Amino acid sequence: MQRLTSQGQAVVDDLAQRHGFSRDAVAHMLFAVLNGNGGMAQFSHPEFGGSGQWMRGGMLMLSDMFNHTLKGRVDALCHEIAEILANQPGLLQTSGNFQSQSQSGGGQQHQDSGMSRGSSSLFVSEPGDRWWPSELGVPNATGVQNDARYAYFADARRLAVRVGGNVRVYDTGDHRIGGFSQQQGSGGTITFTSQHGTVDLASLPVVSQDGHSFPSSSTAGKPAAATSSATTQAADPAQADIFSAIERLGDLKDKGLLTDEEFAAKKAELLKRL
């Protein structure tokens, strides 16, 4: 469970004093609203009459359903917490709604993973939270799905994915990613959704793996207006570099770091430059 920073503790103290609840109750509601992405909360605490649910827009359900005074106090607390969280840059997911799916033929199951939050001054970052390359900075969103973790950097057009102990960074091009799905069974294929629909992760160019850079066919992350045609031409590798890159990809495939599909896709991409 995440822990509060000193600033987060101060926020809880202030809310507790002004709304007349204990620090424990306020902290419980803070995490409940956070887990509901600032728009809803499912909670269970004696000071709130037991279990209940709140949704921004006016819906509030308490076990003590006829205690209208308590309803008003809980609603006011939830709304103020939601406003505080909304003012924390990158804390709440803003790129769309992420619904879980369960289905698929052949007894396989898909589950979409919502993108979770970035860093915040209210919560202590756990040691394992920043597993992506440091040069990528702070992600717009992060997520977990089965055995895979994701960190999406929209401005840099990069997506970091960690499966087991391996971290790959992908060039997302013009995709604006909104959610992920990992297929269970049959190799655990990973897909994501963007404005172009559902896309196989393996179709994206791999920029680096475990800190080792790969040749990139994209100038993603740089404004097009600032990139001259001469610079673009200079960035294209010579033929010898292309064949060398293919050999390196072959070595990675032999070591099991690339699948056959990923190797074939990257090889085809490099050969198109000849």
User: Could you tell me the strand order of the sheet in which 190-194 lies?
Assistant: 109-113, 179-184, 190-194, 197-200
Position 107 scores a pLDDT of 34
> At 264, which helix (H) or strand (E)?
helix 260-271
Write the single-letter amino acid at 108: Q
- Greatest extent of the chain over all pairs of C-alpha atoms, in Å: 77
DSSP state of 257: S
Q: In the predicted model, is pLDDT for residue 151 greater than 90?
A: no
Among 46-60, 226-240, 249-263, the minimum mean pLDDT is found in 226-240
Among 76-80, 130-134, 140-144, the minimum mean pLDDT is found in 140-144
Position 215 scores a pLDDT of 62
Residue with tokens 């994501």: 192
Q: In the predicted model, is pLDDT for residue 50 greater than 80?
A: yes
How do residues 210-252 score in pLDDT, each as one tens digit?
767 766 544 444 444 444 444 444 444 455 566 667 777 777 7
Pair of tokens at residue 187: 């190799």
**Residue 193: how many CB atoms within 10 A of its CB?**
19
Give the global pTM: 0.46
How do residues 170-207 score in pLDDT, each as one tens digit?
999 898 887 777 665 434 678 878 888 888 888 899 98
Q: What does the pLDDT average to over 11-36?
A: 93
**Res. 78 pLDDT band, cuts 50 70 90:** very high
How do residues 101-122 score in pLDDT, each as one tens digit?
333 433 333 334 444 455 567 7
Please provide the average confidence, as pLDDT, over all residues in the chain: 75
Write the single-letter amino acid at 57: G
Higher pLDDT, 131 or 66: 66
Q: How much of the chain exceeds pLDDT 90, in percent?
A: 22
